[in-house]
């Protein structure tokens, strides 16, 4: 919102795309890799993962359409109207996703049974012992306390977000790097640091459904909620925020979702899949560094 208010729509677009890519490749890759170093094979609910993947692919379609339409030579003034229409559709789909996940089909997102959730390395008594001790964590906060804590955290983060947004232009000029690299690579890494740590920590503890809920779930939330929210917020604020993410970021985002889909389709993960996802993210970072 602060970046929108300053008119930094390209930085907003970059950070949104970068957050999705970072969660899908870097965070999920680190989860698969670090968990795979301790367990030979880890398992998770493939049905729930595929449901989120399908929604992600649909959301990417909504981001790619305005970009492709503009390449065909259509009127630029139709760009905002098309983007806002797509944003409304995505917002409605997000509500459907919440109902699906939390009410009608919540059993699809239930964690895999402990005894079936991982295959330890041969002769690794430590991994086998740790797996037997995995238990469901009980909530230590009431709903009211959690809500109050969320409000306080938001109030503390808001001024920091404003300061970070205001320093973007100065950093790009001082260091001679592009706004694309800052928005797509640097800002998402900084912004996702907390959930990155959480996802990797629970992956090492063999709680892969929770780990995917952090990495894949965050990407789904950004694509279906945060992206349309920024478009609608820009509409209200009179800022021309659209869904034209340009050819390269949109193409990379589409390929990222397809790559991740191939990794989660079987409901199993190992360290090589994690290494491949991290390598893909490194290639993307290098490409934007030299832009």
- Domains of the chain in sequence order: 2-122+162-289 (1.20.1420.30)
Separation CA 263–CA 19 (nearest Å): 19
* CA 277 from centre of chain: 14
- Mean pLDDT over residues 193-213, rounded? 89
- Mean pLDDT over residues 24-51, rounded? 91
Q: How many CA atoms lie within 13 A of 12 on its CB side?
A: 24
- Mean pLDDT over residues 261-265, rounded? 91
Above 90 in pLDDT, residue 278?
A: yes
**Residue 204 · residue 30 · CB < 8 Å:** no
Instruction: Pick the more confident residue, 68 or 221.
Output: 221
Q: Alpha carbon of 194 to those of 76, 183, 201: distances in Å? A: 39, 18, 11
Above 80 in pLDDT, residue 285?
A: yes
pLDDT interval class at 121 (50, 70, 90): low
Instruction: Pick the more confident residue, 29 or 51.
Output: 29
Q: Which pLDDT belongs to residue 230?
A: 92
> Which one-letter DSSP state was computed for residue 103?
I
**Residue 230 · residue 12 · CB < 8 Å:** yes
Predicted TM-score (pTM) of the model is 0.83
Q: Which pLDDT belongs to residue 148?
A: 81
Count of positions (residues) in the chain = 291
Averaged confidence pLDDT in the chain: 81
Q: Which pLDDT belongs to residue 117?
A: 58
Instruction: Pick the more confident residue, 255 or 171.
Output: 255
Instruction: Pick the more confident residue, 96 or 111.
Output: 96
């Amino acid at each position: 919102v602060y970046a929108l208010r300053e008119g930094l729509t390209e930085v907003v677009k970059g950070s949104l795309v970068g957050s999705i890519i970072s969660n899908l490749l870097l965070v999920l890759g680190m989860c698969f890799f670090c968990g795979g170093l301790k367990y030979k094979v880890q398992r998770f609910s493939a049905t729930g993962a595929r449901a989120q993947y399908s929604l992600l692919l649909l959301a990417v379609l909504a981001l790619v359409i305005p970009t492709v339409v503009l390449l065909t030579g259509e009127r630029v003034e139709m760009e905002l109207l098309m983007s806002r229409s797509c944003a409304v559709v995505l917002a409605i789909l997000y509500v459907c996703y919440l109902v699906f996940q939390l009410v009608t089909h919540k059993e699809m997102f239930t964690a895999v049974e402990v005894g079936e959730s991982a295959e330890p390395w041969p002769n690794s008594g430590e991994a086998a012992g740790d797996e037997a001790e995995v238990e469901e964590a009980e909530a230590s906060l009431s709903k009211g306390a959690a809500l109050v804590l969320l409000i306080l955290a938001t109030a503390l983060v808001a001024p920091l977000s404003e300061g970070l947004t205001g320093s973007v232009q100065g950093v790009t000029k001082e260091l001679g790097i592009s706004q694309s690299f800052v928005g797509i690579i640097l800002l998402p890494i900084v912004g996702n640091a907390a959930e990155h740590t959480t996802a990797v920590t629970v992956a090492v503890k063999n709680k892969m459904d929770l780990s995917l809920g952090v990495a894949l779930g965050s990407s789904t939330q950004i694509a279906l909620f945060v992206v349309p929210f920024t478009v609608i917020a820009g509409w209200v604020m009179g800022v021309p925020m659209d869904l034209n993410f340009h050819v390269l970021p949109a193409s990379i985002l589409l390929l990222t979702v397809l790559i991740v889909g191939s990794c989660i389709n079987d409901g199993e993960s190992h360290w090589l899949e994690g290494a491949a996802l991290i390598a893909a993210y490194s290639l993307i970072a290098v490409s934007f560094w030299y832009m």
